[in-house]
Amino acid sequence: MHPEFNYPAEIKGKRKLYSLFKGLNHPLEVISGNHQSVGDNYYIKASFTDKNFIFSQDKEFVEYILKQNHKNYQKSEIQSVTLGKYLGKGLLTNNGKDWLKQRRLIQPGFGKAKIANLVSIMEEEIDKSLESFKIESEVDLYDFFHSLAFNIVAKTLFSSDVDENTVNELSKIITEVQEVSTKEVRLPFYTNILNIFGVIDKNIEKSKRSKAIIQSVLDKRRNSGEEKNDLLDMLIQTRYEDTQLPMSDEQLVDEMLILFIAGHETTANALSFIFFEISQSPKAEEKLKKEIENEGEMVFTSENLMKKSFTVNIIKEAMRLHSPAWAIDREALEDDSFKEYSWPKGTLIILYISGLHRNPKYWEHPDSFIPERFEDENSKNFAYYPFGAGPRLCIGEHFAMMEMALIVRKFYRRFTFISYQKKLEKKALVTLRPISLKGKIINNLA
């Protein structure tokens, strides 16, 4: 430890070894255990890479890093380099002036008014997928939502320019790439082993294939001369303020790949968690169905989906308990300090969102599903950041919330889901996902 810096409590000895190795496959268990042992902030030095890590589930610290002093922090190499070599330089992986330039360019396309125009495309995909359920159907909702969310992104991004086989191929590639990149992130020295066996090269080839698919869709749209008022049109037509030039094809493809990944993965995971929690709470389901009934013909309008409601409260509470974006990483560009702590340039900050969302310091009955807590007029100030915070707040927040509210209402207007699982097994990769969500669907209108 650097004597001139004052880190939080350090994880050392056996606990450190346990953290470094057990953390590969069970990061939530390890990080939560460390916080329980030493408090809301802790420090650990990675022996193999000589990197300094500070972990935090403290609201003030999180806000300092993401908001008050965000200019001193960038996405760490975990995303900008490790994920960047597969995903390119889209909003998720980019940093600095390049990121800001892209964010300013793309942001207007994700405002509430623009997203509202996509409701009819979403509805068509949801209605089509729900038709597969008979009077009584056994299902793994995680697989179902993965497919549905991917199809929604494909259609809102590309309209009808991509067929089902292509969508399935893209989905498979993206899942395989994430499995490998997660191993690289957790154990950097493992990258050497993956290199020896050619796994990295194979993964890069898969990534190139996914980009080639997206480029072919882009070429097809340009050659057709059609305008379809989807996200692809928005990306093609948008121009940089300073040059009035469009994005290069390479940049366009990178941004579309990022939108595919961020737009379906986190939503599919969140929907699985939402439906699991509803299945465990008959009172919440009853209240939800009553709200759907009371909204009448307005139930699926964009204005109705975006306003404060019990539907939205359910979504928020499920994402509090199971935040798909379970951690946020940042790297210090210069030496910094907060309250009694200080750390050098290059320190990696891991903001543990899952821990923050269940921290008893901020939440009463933190492990209980209580959607009503978001009715509180002070809920905007809760220790709650499922979409991040500050300038890098997730650009797709409105899109995701409207999509999830629409799916929840469409489903519960007609169906009930009975989960076979009383406890949900979760796997923390780049995002937090369930292993499965198996159960039975009852058609209440049959």
C-alpha closest to that of 75 among 423, 348, 354: 348
Q: Give pLDDT, residue 401.
A: 95
Predicted local distance difference test score (pLDDT) of residue 1:
47
197 φ, ψ (degrees, to nearest 5)? -90, 5
Q: Does residue 224 form part of some domain?
A: yes
CA distance 278 to 422: 12
> What CA–CA distance (Å, rounded) separates 55 from 34?
9
CATH number for position 434: 1.10.630.10
Instruction: Name the strands in the sheet holding 438-443, side by side, starting at the edge strand that comes first in the sequence.
Output: 136-140, 438-443, 415-419
Residue 272 counted as domain residue: yes
Annotation: binding site: 394
Residue 3 lies in a domain: no
| DSSP letters for 34-70 | HHHHH-SEEEEEETTTTEEEEEE--HHHHHIIIIITG
CA atoms within 13 A on the CB side of 273: 26
CB 157 within 8 A of CB 259: yes
Separation of CA 341 from chain center: 30
* CA–CA separation, 417 and 265 (whole Å): 21
Sign of CA pseudo-dihedral 373, 374, 378, 379: positive
> 433 lies in a domain?
yes
Look at residue 298 and tell me if it is in a domain.
yes
Instruction: Select from 380, 340, 175 the least CA-distant residue to 264.
Output: 175
- The sign of the CA dihedral 98, 344, 21, 31 is negative
Q: Which neighbouring-strand residues pair with 54? A: 43, 349
In order along the chain (446 residues), what is the average pLDDT of each group of 10 residues? 82 87 85 96 84 96 97 82 74 82 85 86 93 89 92 83 75 75 63 73 85 88 81 86 86 86 87 98 97 94 93 98 95 96 96 98 97 93 95 91 97 96 88 93 85
Q: Are 53 and 27 in contact (CB under 8 A)?
A: no
Instruction: For residue 29, give Cα distances in angstroms to 140, 160, 410.
Output: 25, 43, 35
Dig out the tokens for 40 from the structure.
């809301």
Q: Beta partners for 441? A: 137, 417
Residue in this structure with the two tokens 């893209």, named with its chain if needed: 170
Contact at 8 Å (CB) between 393 and 287? Answer: no
| Percent of all residues in the chain with a pLDDT value above 70, rounded to a whole number | 95
Number of C-beta neighbours around residue 21 at 10 A: 13
2 falls within a domain: no
Query: Reduced to 3 states, what is the DSSP secondary structure of residue 349?
Result: strand
Q: What is the radius of gyration, based on Cα positions, of the chain?
A: 22
Each residue of 253-291: pLDDT tens digit? 888 888 887 778 899 999 999 999 999 999 999 999 999
With 0-12 / 13-18 / 19 or more C-beta atoms within 10 angstroms meaning exposed / middle / buried, residue 351 is buried
Q: Among the residues of 139-163, which ranges form H helices?
A: 141-158
**Domain interval for residue 257:** 9-443
pLDDT digits (tens, 9 = 90+) for 139-196: 999 999 988 998 898 888 887 667 778 777 877 777 777 777 766 665 555 666 767 7
Q: Does any domain span residue 1?
A: no
Give the per-residue pLDDT at 389.
93
Positions at the binding site for heme: 394
Assigned domain for 364 exists: yes
CB contact at 8 A, 374 and 321? no
352 pairs with which residues across the strands?
A: 327
Domains held by the chain: number: 1
